[in-house]
Amino acid sequence: MESEQQMSKQLREFQEHLKKSKKIVALVGAGLSVSSGLPTFRGSQGLWKNFNMIDLATPDAFYIDPGLVWQFYSWRRVSALKARPNRGHLALSKLSNLSSNRDNGKKVDYITITQNVDGLSSRSNHCKDNLYEIHGSLFNLKCTSFMCNYVDRNNFKHPLTKALADTEDEYEKKNRKRTLEEIEQQDLSISPQFKPVVQLTESDLPQCPVCKDGSLLRPGVVWFGESLPLNVITKIDNFIESETPVDLVLVIGTSGTVYPANSYVDRIKLKGGKVAIFNTDIEEDILQGKVKDTWGFRGDAAELLPVALEPLIGEI
């Protein structure tokens, strides 16, 4: 167990470095959204009904049973719509706005790289041009036809189709269109985890409005086995590889198991950057300060970030 003084020594050292940092990156994972009520991908939370989430986040799963995968993503959409950004999101949002209006005297270049598709960072008033959603968003839809490049961005519509409303109807008896506010008011206490998946046909699912041959729409997320959006990756590479090195990478609520997201931390460390990990699960050596250029803060990222970043962002 790290002692109180060990923690405060780490915090003091970290904040000294934070105040001197000119270039900062945050790598965000599912753990940041836990205190907003959204489950992580691994461990016991990584299940939806009796499916492993990772098995559903693949092109093959969608090809084999688009109705099943769409019910999974409908549940994810409704859960994310119901969730609100937490103080951890707000802390990063303040940091992002610090670097965008550079005339405030605090010269810091900053980007958030988020693996999360829940849209909570963009709903936390995060500066748009330094937020990189490398795995896409639950609220973008795109056509599955290779011949069509239709994309529907920021689609918060609920339900997307009547049949999918049915799956989402596990939350509410009435099957009608609702505003975001109405969704936020509703009671999500009845978990859909135990109701059986219904068999849906393609005609029950979102269709591309442009394609004549009625192609299916899919969630605008990056599935396992798919490449990340090249334009986003290039911007991140340029930020990390430019001649001014990154001084500090904040590794927040991620198990670091997903490539290529997990490669950024080593690349920054290789160029002399220091690492600060915010996670409920941290190796003892890091907590004891025994790992070079690495600080570890064990706890809920939503609680830790506002405290740790306070010297730069002030009070939230």
Minimum CB–partner distance for residue 234 and ligand BV8 (Å): 14
H and E: helices and strands count for the chain: 12, 11
Q: Which of 259, 270, 292, 315 binds ligand BV8 (CB under 6 A)?
A: 259
Instruction: Choose among 61, 30, 59, 32: nearest CA to 46.
Output: 30
Q: Which of 93, 96, 116, 294 binds ligand BV8 (CB under 6 A)?
A: 116
CA 11 to CA 116: how far, in whole Å? 26
Q: Which of 80, 117, 216, 275 binds ligand BV8 (CB under 6 A)?
A: 117
Contact indicator for 89, 28 with CB cutoff of 8 Å: no
* By CB under 6 A, residue 35 contacts ligand BV8: yes
- In the Cβ-directed half-sphere of 102, how many Cα atoms lie within 13 Å? 6
Nearer to ligand BV8, 289 or 299 (CB): 299
* By CB under 6 A, residue 41 contacts ligand BV8: yes
Angstrom distances, CA of residue 187 to CA of 165, 234, 311: 16, 42, 38
Three-state secondary structure call for residue 241 = helix
Q: Which of 11, 30, 236, 246 binds ligand BV8 (CB under 6 A)?
A: 30
Nearer to ligand BV8, 18 or 134 (CB): 134
Three-state secondary structure call for residue 60 = helix
Residue 12 Rama label (left phi>0; alpha psi -120 to 50; beta): alpha
Q: Which stretch binds ligand BV8 (CB under 6 A): 33-41, 61-69, 95-103, 232-240?
A: 33-41
Nearer to ligand BV8, 63 or 162 (CB): 63
Nearer to ligand BV8, 57 or 178 (CB): 57
b/e per residue 66-79 (b: at least 16 CB within 10 A): bbbbbbbbbbbbbb
* By CB under 6 A, residue 74 contacts ligand BV8: no
- Which of the residues 224 through 253 are near ligand BV8 (CB under 6 A)? 224-227, 253
The binding site for ligand BV8 (CB under 6 A) comprises 29-31, 34-35, 40-42, 54, 57, 115-117, 135, 221-227, 253-255, 257-260, 278-281, 300-301
